[in-house]
Amino acid sequence: MAAPTVHPAGTVLEGRYRVDGLLARGGMSVVHRGSDLRLDRPVAIKILDRTLAADPAFVRRFEREARAAARLAHPGVVAVHDQGRDPDGTVFLVLELVEGGTLRDVLRDEGRLHPATALTVAEQVVTALQVAHDRGLVHRDVKPENVLVGLDGTVKVADFGLVAAAWETDGADDPEGNGEMVLGTVAYLAPEQVAEGRADARSDLYAAGVVLFELLTGAPPHGGEDAVTVARRHVHSDVPPPSALVGGIPRALDRLVLAATSRDPEARLADAGAFLAAARGVRIDADLPFHPVPPPRRRAGSAGSRPLRGTRLLDLDEGPGDPPRRGPWDDLDEDLEEEADLDDLAEDEPEDEPEDDGPARTGRRGRRSPDAPVDDVDVAIETIERRRARARSRRLLAAWLVLVSAATVAAGAAGWGLGLP
């Protein structure tokens, strides 16, 4: 899909809404600062891509979703003021204008957040999701770009309904499943969204858990060279505990992240209320007080947002798309893969891990199956750290042997050159 058209400043839609400067650009829409000329108030105007606006099925679903989103009257949800269609065919939403930026801007400023601040953000996001879920509305694209942070540190979730309209339109127009399904941004996709093309409230909680992981560590858990690789990792790889990557993160926060991001929806936190109850328990267990969210230092729209990415439903062998950034866990994945290769070359090496660690461990030497759930967070963290240390030790040993060999050869060559016996 081509980038949505940016409307020139000064354009007036439906004789009421004046379009001003650009705030953000996405895969399906652009957002402008604007003015409601009738009520004399600043607003944000989300203008849909003309290709989508020309699809009657999409517009019908979009208008229905906009009406549903407009009923979400909550301080943690960006308010929908109006929805319209200009005579020139422009389809748009009029939204509450949040002065500040996005959670992505905050991450660019801070790198990662203190655990207490990250938990505060997650609680506010999930509280907004709970309001939507109680009204039967699933977001489907929870990510830092869709979380707005005001200059006073308030947190609001935006974009309810837009992805749902695109998803349902694709499914209705292409019952064979051959068209491109708009699934959300791949870094935050729940496994069932990738593998089965379905989403419910638990899918939003998975994405919220991934966002919490990113707030704690500075990057999403799964990266890759292309969108399909990232989508596969959501389906086949567990989200790891954040504390295995960044020190100082309480184990109680690890447990919350893992409970929210279980690959099996049935094993995930059941609903937003369960997430919030677990978060309250983390505050008590880890002594994490409510901590204000730092406002973004850069204005919304100062950096182009990444467009919405999609992947073809159940077709994870298609060609690569634009490469997402690598996740921080990719380096550890490579460490563990290298360790596995070294293990194959050292069949007689004594194993320092127990032969049977319970039903979650399988294979020749009691290795943990990649499809097995994490039953004990502490054991999982210790196992990962131990394997990472072993892999690094082996690389250092190999490098030392190479250096010793090189030094021996050099000394021999020097002695030969000097005629020494």
Q: Let me know if 378 is a catalytic residue.
A: no
Residue 192 above 90 pLDDT? yes
Q: Are 190 and 223 contained in the same domain?
A: yes
Residue 128 above 70 pLDDT? yes
Q: Are 119 and 62 contained in the same domain?
A: no
Q: How far apart are CA 261 and CA 147, in angstroms?
A: 19
Last residue of a domain, one of 254, 270, 286: 286
Q: Are 113 and 261 contained in the same domain?
A: yes
pLDDT tens across 256-272, in order? 999 999 999 999 999 99
The distance in angstroms from the start CA to the end CA of the chain is 75
Per-residue pLDDT at 340: 40
Those residues with Cβ within 8 angstroms of residue 192's Cβ, 6 or more apart along the chain or in another chain: 198, 199, 203, 265
Residue 2 lies in a domain: no
Per-residue pLDDT at 368: 35
Q: How far apart are CA 181 and CA 63, in angstroms?
A: 19
Q: Which of 117-131, 169-183, 377-391 has the highest mean pLDDT?
A: 117-131
Those residues with Cβ within 8 angstroms of residue 94's Cβ, 6 or more apart along the chain or in another chain: 17, 34, 36, 43, 44, 45, 80, 81, 82, 83, 84
Q: Are 62 and 117 contained in the same domain?
A: no
Residue 134 lies in a domain: yes
CA atoms within 13 A on the CB side of 289: 2
Q: Rounded to the nearest 10 degrees, how much is the dihedral formed by the CA atoms of 382, 385, 387, 388? A: 180
Q: Are 66 and 200 contained in the same domain?
A: no
Q: Are 82 and 161 contained in the same domain?
A: no
What tokens were used for 266? 């049935």
Residue 367 lies in a domain: no
Q: What percent of the chain has pLDDT over 70?
A: 66
pLDDT tens across 278-290, in order? 999 999 999 999 9
Q: Are 32 and 49 contained in the same domain?
A: yes
Q: Are 207 and 104 contained in the same domain?
A: yes
Q: How far apart are CA 214 and CA 311, in angstroms?
A: 22
Residue 265 lies in a domain: yes
Per-residue pLDDT at 374: 37
Residue 119 above 80 pLDDT? yes
Q: What is the CATH number of the domain that holds 42?
A: 3.30.200.20
Last residue of a domain, one of 71, 95, 119: 95
Q: What is the CA radius of gyration of the chain?
A: 25
Q: What is the CATH number of the domain that holds 215?
A: 1.10.510.10
How do beta strands 91-95 and 17-25 pair?
unpaired
Total number of domains constituting the chain: 2
Per-residue pLDDT at 246: 94
Residue 217 above 90 pLDDT? yes
Range of the domain at 64: 12-95
Alpha helices in 221-350 (DSSP H): 227-236, 251-260, 272-286, 329-344
Question: In this predicted model, which residue has the larger pLDDT, 1 or 408?
Answer: 408
Per-residue pLDDT at 3: 54
What tokens were used for 194? 């990738």
Residue tagged active-site, from 141, 254, 271, 335: 141
Residue pair 373/264 in contact by the 8 Å Cβ criterion: yes
Per-residue pLDDT at 390: 66
Per-residue pLDDT at 357: 38
Per-residue pLDDT at 163: 62
